[in-house]
A and B are shown apart, each in its own frame.
Chain A
Amino acid sequence: MDFFSTYGFLIVSMLFQAMLGLSLYIPLMTGQLSLASPGFYALGGYIAAILSTTVFLPEGGGKWESGTFPIIYVLIETVLAGLASALLALLIGFPSLRLRGIYLALATIAFVEIVRVLSLNLEITGKAIGIFGVPQPFINKFDYVVLALPLLIASAWFVYRLERSRVGRAFTALREDELAAAAMGVNPTTNKVLAFVLGAVLAGMVGAISAHFLNTWNARQGTFDVSILVLAYVIIGGSRTFLGPILGGLLLTALPEVLRAIAGIQGLPLFLSQFLLDGRLIIYGLLIVVAPLFYPQGLITPDLFKRRAVKTKEAGA
């Protein structure tokens, strides 16, 4: 059994989901709970699916052989998906970011729903059927790692640096106390919109690569369930450092496979292994409810590193 051909799909999915976790984390840096990421993810996917099936055709027409679609086209689609997401986020950011807390969350869920209904009804998005036969730049699913991993590293580095920069500090100040931040010269609106746009760009780019990865794109991609799933990454992984959503995305995406492996252990009662296989959503739900009781700030907190830093300092002294 070849590990990479068995788990290639899972590994790349984990990387994508980690990035979606980050895309929710960025607006959260300013204190905005936006669940809009799946909407931009869907948009990015449609842009890639449409371009690669109608514009980027092989010379002389016909279809791309599997594994021959040029990567450069994927990159172009990814950039365009990011740009389109940025524009759309700007457009809806200014009116919706007047809302706070749960109201903003609801408005962004409405946005995700609008994207879904539109794609179900528009000719260009293939209506209910969607767009299939999205051409493949790779033969093996695992090879997508050459796109997904650099993008994850780049976006993690981006957020890491952001948190230590002037703009990131303004974001955090808004989360801590919006009124005080404004009184200290931070413009709440532009900074919140900026964070919203940055999160949208990342989600859109992930969608573009995912369309190729999944081979097909339709209205079932990037729906409300994904909003909740991505929220779970942040709640369980941690919302106060960018490593939280990454860890949450990786873990929760791997969870079904882990459950499947556990269910396969000899000697488990049948009902239990059945539950482990079919009760995935129930287990997610339980985790979302129970994990915060034990890890109120998520698995990873900034203090985790500080304590370690202090310890090493003491050890050195």
Chain B
Amino acid sequence: MEEKRAAVLDDPASSSGYEIVHSKSKVFYPEFERKTDLKHQTHYCPGCGHGVAHKLIAEALEDLELQNDTILVSPVGCSVFAYYYFDVGNVQVAHGRAPAAATGLKRACPDKIVIAYQGDGDLAAIGTAEIIHAANRGEKITIFFVNNTIYGMTGGQMAPTTLVGQKSTTSPWGRRPVNEGFPLHMSELLSSLEAPVYIERVALSDNKNIMKARRAVRKALEKQRDGAGFSFVEILSPCPTIWGKDPMEARRWVAETMIPNFPLNVFRDRKVEIPVNNAPPQKTIAELIGIEKKVDGKTSEPARNHRFHDLTIKIAGFGGQGVLLLGQLLAEMGMREGLEVSWLPSYGPEMRSGSAHCHICLSKERIGSPLISQPSVLIAMNELSLRKFASQVAPGGVIIYGRTALPVDFSCPQAQIVCIPASELADKLGSAKVANVVMMGALLEETECLSPATAMQVLEAKVKNPALLELDRKALDAGRLYIDDTVAVGAVTQADGFAQ
């Protein structure tokens, strides 16, 4: 524990002044067993607001009969040991993260009462993102925010709520907005959000205000009990030790200096109608992850007698040419024909503008590297890809190039090259989008690696719109026919054998 607090705790002279809680709520443990010593008193300094805030919360939980239902999330700060005192389920969390942990707890236990208790360093500095987003999501939790304008536990450093001009160990000349900015007003800030149902700032300055605080604490918990939404109570709270004041002076300082800077107010008290649109359908796990019992028996085709042992295909083109999808279709077909398959895409932002490529392995055995350095087939959808990848093709391999003819200056002696104006053929069918299916037709006709019937099965399974499916069928046929015709006029030779 940090030195200053330890010093306060260890000083026997100061311990005589500790608040000893006698008439305790039964939501407090009768004896503070989790403390190592002084099991009848809290670890808080005399006149500390945390003790009072604890009392108000314990009483409210008792009166509302919520003790068994409550989970208290304690923060890092002087109240880190809130679990010493509260006889409820306790979860202690990292500095500032209470609203996130409370979110996880509440979503797991939606009918329970989840409270996050936080100081101003915890909530308004290190945990600012967590509190704003928990509030904005309208988490049905309650936050008790103890604002004492200072870091108590670590010995009096500046807090986000430290007042302009207020001295701290890290603002030795008083908070200077030019260097440290202005105090954060968390209640006001959260009040700009849609979702919260209840936001109030109260003060532990005098009995009248403590009574108001008691009502606010209770109301916040009632809101949660009734499932209304996010409730938040900011409690202006004395820290006599760090402020260097006696308890009475400290209370007065809350009244006279804090309140004018942090006006007490009910910032939000309303019903918030949160639309529950588009509720997700409910399914069984088996349905969802595709392991329902086989329905039609034809989900997996018997292995065909493939002529290759391994076939590696690289497909490359511009993003948007359906390069990745074509690869997936081939992998799916291979799988249906009983082969081992892998599909490895280029991924990330470069797909959106520039080029895309993917690697497909088809094999009769477990596949080692899904990354191909020497494809047996290259499907090049554009000139760039042809030039970039042709030299990688294995000797005796095949290149299928998606244009009418090769660039004049291009040659690739180790491979057989087939040209097909895929985009033009696709355009003629009515959509340039099916150029990739035209290329698939060419591949199947040229290499006979997979069966066109499997191609149609896969397309049928993927394409639900009958008009589009018909278009795909035509594209597949167009690709096959074109190769057939080309071969007939002897432009290229059939490539049956692949480099292993």
Are A and B subunits of one complex? no
Interface residues of A (CB under 8 A from B): none
